Amino acid sequence: MTGHNSARLRYHFEPQKGWLNDPNGLVWYRGQYHAFFQHNPYAAQWGSMHWGHAVSNDLIHWTELPLALTPSKRYDKRGCYSGSAVEKDGSLWLFYTGVDMFGRQTQCLAISNDGVTFTKHAGNPIVKAPRDTSAKDFRDPKVTKFGNAYHMVVGGGKGRVGKVLHYRSTDLLCWDYVGVLLAGRAYGKVIECPDLFPLSSGCCLIFSVMNTAPGTPATRFFFGEFDGDTFTVRNHHSPARGPDFYAPQTFMDGKGRQILLAWFSNWKRAAPKGALYAGAFTIPMEIRYTDGKLTLYPVDEVRPLLTQTDPAVTATANRMLPPNGLCYDGDIDRIDVLRDGKAAEVFINGGEAAFFWRG
């Protein structure tokens, strides 16, 4: 392969070669941070979807490992799409969307005893699309344990109504369909990358919406209550303002922190001609809910890299203008900037609002 890229980012994970988009399977496993990702190893553009894999000890420096999942079975021949990871009895379980040659999407499982080599479950697929969604819009399973049960949320859509579909299991193998957890035309024809997880005194639901209008957040954040069957929205938040922020996923680490990573790019951003690689993760952030506010702020390990000013950021006491056409209007007590070459992330008031853009 020939070609070039501008200088690599110093603090954000990028693949050695090929394409990266959604972070998948984020998990703290055997004393390390594991991050999987949507990956086309053959070109710096979206294509044959595999699962790439990287590990870190400090959430800043990452080591890329061999591919975790490749499209090799009839149910995933067209791609291994996004999903999540769960540790159970010392093994690592990956849940992902398999796409067959007809574009039909199902939820599948692969298991590893060492966190590096994964074996696809003989009973795949473990979940097929219900009537509530199109079989071609049924993807991105995120599994979280609440109490004694595992809950899976999957993105879907039907009749141009985006939906979050809800399943429950006690053993991670047999899944019962509970129903539609949330739906609406305002979320486009299909919801992507849903994530349901406990946070503070309640529960948070986040997901991404395709083809949002310029200036409109592509990721929605809801805080409320989850009783095991239904999610009741208490309020809505928009801490992530983009434009280079999509498909976030969270996980709890060994310190009890709920950490979030997102794709540090967007679907309209193309790699330069001849590029060897494309796509990156955002900096890892802790997501919190305090005093009625949902915040995104870099994890402790990253905070020494933050500065309070940046030549590209213009701010007053009640307005901030990043160099991307967006703006923040409201009281500003503090601004923190993470500058990484031509890329930057700006956090206002401890993460009440966060802006992400690539140069």
Catalytic residues: 22
- CA 345 – CA 331 distance, rounded (Å): 19
Q: CA nearest 62: which of 10, 22, 104, 113? A: 10
Question: Hey, what amino acid is at 254?
Answer: G
Measured between alpha carbons, how far is 35 from 51 in angstroms, rounded to an integer? Answer: 10
Our CA angle for 319, 322, 323, nearest 5°, is 140
C-alpha span between 145 and 228 (Å, rounded): 10
CB contact at 8 A, 59 and 37: no
From 337, 345, 329, 349, select the one nearest 283 (Cα to Cα).
345
Q: Which two tokens stand for residue 346?
A: 């700006």
CB atoms within 10 A of CB 7: 8
- Integer Cα distance of 299 and 75 in angstroms: 38
Q: What is the DSSP letter of 284?
A: P
In the chain, the amino acid numbered 184 is G
**CA pseudo-torsion sign 269, 298, 193, 93:** positive
Is the distance from CB of 294 to CB of 237 less than 8 angstroms? yes
Q: Cβ–Cβ contacts within 10 Å for residue 338, how many?
A: 22
For residue 143, give Cα distances in angstroms to 27, 140, 278: 11, 10, 28
Asked whether the beta carbons of 332 and 316 are under 8 A apart, the reply is yes
